[in-house]
Amino acid sequence: MGREVFKASDRCESRANQEFSRDGVVWIDTPGLDEDVRGEDDRLARQGAFELADYLFLVHNIRAGELDRYELDLYRGMMARSWDHKSRMFLVLTKIDQLNQEDGYRVFQRVQAQLPGITVVPVSALRYQRGIYEGKEKFVELSGMSDLLALTEQLKRGLQSSRQQEIAHLRGEVRRQLQQRINRLEANLAQREEQRYERRCRFVSAVDQTLNTVAAYG
């Protein structure tokens, strides 16, 4: 961004979805997960993910190790709701400068195994900023930020195609759900017609039996 936009710390800084626009991209910062006991922050996060965003960048501090059970359940729930989650969801591992290479790679592999098919991008904002401010290309390279920026540019170029695919999928999903509803209504109608026919048959049978009884007694 060129400056600090969304404040980040070890405690929750966002209580509502925040937006920032730059170079034709609107970035949405959602509230931290599992901070509000009422679950309101998670609801807003899910709204930002499913109703507003084309792409989802999940951010995880590499110092925390692998994803915990709450994060994993939430992210897998997101994956289950998104038919094309492998091309829409990405996990950004931050602060890679704070672990040695061996430990960092171990966490990277474990997180990848937890979310199969999801692209994981390890980055260090500290290395990137130092590389930019001090003119040290090696720090920029080691920061991983170039990979993340390249990914966002690639996603921007494919945005229209991605949206058209999403529209086509949603249309197909609407048609599928509509057909399912029609099938249920038709099945319900057929069942009611069958029940109506059976009641009519029982009624006619009862009337015939009554008339035969009356006739027998002359």
Mean pLDDT score of the chain: 84
Predicted confidence at residue 91, as pLDDT, reads 94
Predicted confidence at residue 37, as pLDDT, reads 45
Domains located in the chain, CATH noted: 18-158 (3.40.50.300)
SS (H, E, C) the chain: CCCCCCCCCCCCCCCCCEEEEECCEEEEECCCCCCCCCCHHHHHHHHHHHHHCCCEEEEEEHHHCCCCHHHHHHHHHHHHHCCCHHHHEEEEEECHHHCCHHHHHHHHHHHHHHCCCCEEEECCHHHHHHHHHHCCHHHHHHHCHHHHHHHHHHHHHCHHHHHHHHHHHHHHHHHHHHHHHHHHHHHHHHHHHHHHHHHHHHHHHHHHHHHHHHHHCC
Predicted confidence at residue 94, as pLDDT, reads 94
| Mean pLDDT for the stretch of residues 206-217 | 84
pTM (two decimals): 0.69
Lowest mean pLDDT among 26-40, 70-84, 130-144: 26-40
Task: Check whether 216 has a pLDDT greater than 50.
Answer: yes
**pLDDT tens for each residue of 36-92:** 545 555 565 665 566 678 898 989 999 999 999 988 988 888 888 777 888 889 999
**pLDDT tens for each residue of 88-122:** 899 999 999 999 989 999 999 999 999 999 999 99
